[in-house]
Structure 1
């Protein structure tokens, strides 16, 4: 079973959680936390999958673990793209449709994440008019021209859109951070913590902090 960060996993029962701290009361009284979790960016050991449970507000977030044997479904962000038209009555639909159409021309692999991705994956209403649009773009290596083109397109919208770029083995970074700071230093998120990096001659260089 391949499980990656941002995947949404459906698990059998909340009682199967492998928690190492006290579980907040809201977890037991919230539909969105009852049997769905979002995979966190952490190492996976002994088939314990690090997941985050979400409640009704930004303050209600809880990090825990679920054993792989108790996962009944894995929903990836890029698998949600084909269901966008099923959410044509949602406020975020026109933007997602535009992104889908443009990224299809560029043959890009991507998917919605955050509250919108969670809502699409679970059919549990967790978004509001204030919800940002979070998405992940999957690429194999740094392509400066492509990232510039994507950034230019995303900036045509009047809605906050946070694009996270995922590169195999390396990790992920925010497109806005990369665009502004690729030569001086941008943050790459790895399973072992954030790293300050820069782009030199098309290659990612890690800054060593003493």
Structure 2
């Protein structure tokens, strides 16, 4: 079972994906170099997974649907920071990266700040991709994208405390709360401008009053 933001390593026969015949050449080159994809929020047929391919440039992203049988390994955002991955093992291999990349430094600080919050969370975006694959995707200007998995209702006051802690970090931090029905920005849930918040779902964006009980209002 996969979820949005999971990182998937593909078996070598990924070259048999039919959709590869009609997509840009950079996708082939990217997968040849790093055969990993990220699960995206989109509907897929039975036996298929909706994924995205990262290119060398930030604007290069390609949506694909792949057979589940192509998945050799799965790494979740939570596993990217699971002990002993951070900082002992990961830092040992990427010491130069942890000392020079602001986004990685921000992640280490956030791990310390959120050590006792008893919630499931982890990095996505370029930081998550680098930690899962070892491919250097983080740059000096990278933001820190975080997935916070909340199966149960999160009080807005608690969300505000968590969001305030991210403001102390050296880079911009974008935290998405993942509910069983979709995702909402931590900042928006912490300080809603109205009685509705924007939630990303498999059916597209929706305005809801409660992301854990998404009755459209």
1:6 maps to what in 2?
5
Distance 1:117 1:34 in 2: 14
Q: Which shifted more, 95-104 or 17-26?
A: 17-26
What is the RMSD of the two structures over their aligned residues, measured on CA atoms?
2.2
Distance 1:50 1:21 in 2: 17
Q: With the length of structure 1 as denominator, give the TM-score of the two structures.
A: 0.87
Cα deviation code 1:85-129 (max 9, x no counterpart): 123432233321221122221112100000110011100011111
Corresponding pairs, count: 204
Relative to structure 1, the CA distance from residue 33 to residue 42 in structure 2 (aligned partners, 3 Å threshold; closer, same or farther) is farther
Asked if the contact 1:32/1:53 (under 8 Å) is kept, the reply is no
The partner residue of 1:128 within 139, 143, 166 is 139
2:158 maps to what in 1?
146
Displacement, 1:182? 5.8
2:59 maps to what in 1?
59
More strand by share: 1
Distance 1:162 1:36 in 2: 23
- Give the unaligned 5+ runs of structure 2: none
1:157 maps to what in 2?
169
Distance 1:161 1:44 in 2: 29
Displacement, 1:206? 3.5
More helix by share: 2
